Structure 1
């Protein structure tokens, strides 16, 4: 496998799919969701303040909510997926809850510091990739007990380092954006959103191109150049993630108020059930790919596996649309809310 986890010996369709994902998805989607996570915490804080709670009480609620996410992440990694991101979200939210109510200058300074930490961590992981031992990922292990142990080891090591560094800067930029209601009032901030979208996607494509060539087997540079390309890919992915969030805001601004179509309603439902859908997707992937269940992980290439992923995502969108009628929350969302706020 290459730096981003795709097979280097796949066929032409596999390399094409891998190239598109490395260039446009990998390291770009995660910062987008991290920015939206930070944005959402500001919205949650604003609702708490509007209800008459003090800033210290608001921070307590944010930290209590964030504290439960690593518990969800631990169970996710224990049973399903070593690449869980819930633990990193919770860790960042727990440590940085206070920044949700801090002044803009402090938030932006912390975001820049987060970018520096991001680079340092990615350099370390890049060097480990070229020098460390190669072996099966937990998803390819036939022994379920061994796979479980490796998932927990990987999760406990990657959550406070790799994933936290990937989440940190975008989370803080999302906090800053929420202060200005960029996504809630996209027409008011259209010019800024357009600039972020164009510049961010341009940086992500330019910065991701070298890694795309390396991980599809087209280019085989020295280890130093490869690690540099890996770091550049990840760093510009932060810009790409923010750009994707801006694009979504611009697209949403064109939806007629009060009259969303069926596609928009379904996507909105999936967003409201995001935690449930995320966990459900992992359950399906284990059932389909794990060697001790469906066993497709070592029998299909990246193109076919990505096709299964797209179909799985579509299935969760449809399921959320069918079950979220009447404002019903997903089971994972309802549980997190219950744990955060209690019975009331």
Structure 2
């Protein structure tokens, strides 16, 4: 049994980094999951910019019949479901990174702290300049604290994840899925000065409180990464099938009270009921994120490795770059001192914009894959994390010197 799986790190005096995983060694499932979930993230983020006489859960309540259908689809399958899956994959990636290192526990912690620092800084700049709802800063804070969990035994990882999940299910009115707040000045600032002044206050709260929502999937991701479950699905088929069926089913069923309310199929309930269905939507979404990851990894085993699969996987390999690229679109389209379309676009047209944005990033990612270009922000994070080891060999970053690599 290897050191990571037992929760014990090597304690030798030398630290050796093998750098990022090469494309030839990467399993397509996790990359495909990241690429597909970027579509869900685009759909989840973009509708929160919309304004209207009445807003609930980020959806204007005066839309057409088609808007109501789109609202139900997004509230059922997207909102609160994509980000937990990314939390899972984030923890899984940390487990992969640790497994490739040898040396003292402190040396590996400092390696992870360097990565957390660059995520915090990048998240701060992202929030100030593009999108106040940034999650990179929260991931950075989570990693800064989460380095202590890499030595936990498996039962502690799962036990703490279960406790956090249970706390998420407690009644309360903090869920975004039931919020009646319209986009504020930090989201839609009238000018650049107001943007900076508002967001420098809001962003720290998001960065510091965000890890609470990502902690459970992150810890489960660490556990799964120790067993290489997503990389070696053939060895874990029963677990993946149960997770896919149960997770997705619970996510769909658990979303219905909120989804039907947001789609105006049922009336908005009283405050006590709201305080129950909001957390139900959130906790079922966390389980749904696990189910989505399992479902996509299982599907990847059956899919023909053609151009489309390669393009979506290439998007997942560059998920940080294209997550930030989405924010450029939202900033240009919705910011009041730019195009200011928050009052013009509907829920349906915003969903179409999100889908078109994702399809464009998939096309660009495929061009980058064929040309042998890495994601610029992935290069930045890895260079700071690994130092010279990240650039010693182009192939170590997952891109061969030959454009044909990865086909």
By the TM > 0.5 criterion, same fold? yes
Cα contact 1:117–1:165 (8 A) shared by 2: no
Matches within 5 A, 1:47-196: 47-48=100-101, 52-119=102-169, 123=172, 125-126=174-175, 136=184, 138-161=186-209, 163-196=210-243
- The match for 1:21 is 74
Return the TM-score normalized by structure 2: 0.77
Query: What CA deviation, in whole Å up to 9, does each residue of 1:289-308 have, x standing for no partner?
Result: 22211221221111101110
Query: What CA deviation, in whole Å up to 9, does each residue of 1:252-285 have, x standing for no partner?
Result: 12246xxx21111111111111111011111122
SS of the equivalent of 2:80 reads coil
Structure-2 separation of matches of 1:75 and 1:62: 20
Does 2:355 correspond to 1:310?
yes
Structure 1, 76-85 or 61-70: larger mean CA deviation? 61-70
Structure-2 separation of matches of 1:156 and 1:14: 33
Cα contact 1:35–1:170 (8 A) shared by 2: yes
Query: What CA deviation, in whole Å up to 9, does each residue of 1:112-154 have, x standing for no partner?
Result: 222244345x825149976x97663534343332233333333
**CA distance 1:128–1:268, change in 2 (3 Å):** closer
Matches within 5 A, 1:268-283: 268-283=313-328
Structure-2 separation of matches of 1:84 and 1:301: 23
RCO greater where, 1 or 2, for CA within 8 Å and sep 6 or more?
2
Query: What CA deviation, in whole Å up to 9, does each residue of 1:42-64 have, x standing for no partner?
Result: 0111111xxx3333322221122
Query: What CA deviation, in whole Å up to 9, does each residue of 1:289-330 have, x standing for no partner?
Result: 222112212211111011101100111111111123465321
- The match for 2:17 is none
Deviation, 1:3, is: 4.6
- The match for 2:25 is none
- The match for 2:332 is 287
SS of the equivalent of 1:125 reads coil
**CA distance 1:254–1:301, change in 2 (3 Å):** same
Cα contact 1:214–1:226 (8 A) shared by 2: no
Q: Which of 281, 284, 300 is residue 236 of structure 1 equivalent to?
A: 284
Where structure 2 has 5 or more consecutive residues not aligned to the other structure, the ranges are: 1-53, 390-407
Cα contact 2:258–2:281 (8 A) shared by 1: yes
Q: CA-atom RMSD, angstroms?
A: 2.2
Query: What CA deviation, in whole Å up to 9, does each residue of 1:151-210 have, x standing for no partner?
Result: 33332222222x222211011111111122111111221111111011111111111100
Cα contact 1:85–1:159 (8 A) shared by 2: yes
Cα contact 1:126–1:230 (8 A) shared by 2: yes
- The match for 1:322 is 367
**CA distance 1:133–1:273, change in 2 (3 Å):** closer
Structure 1, 94-103 or 75-84: larger mean CA deviation? 94-103
Return the TM-score normalized by structure 1: 0.91
Structure-2 separation of matches of 1:198 and 1:123: 28
Q: Which runs of 4+ in 1 moved over 6 A?
A: 127-130
Give aligned pairs, total: 335
**CA distance 1:286–1:332, change in 2 (3 Å):** same
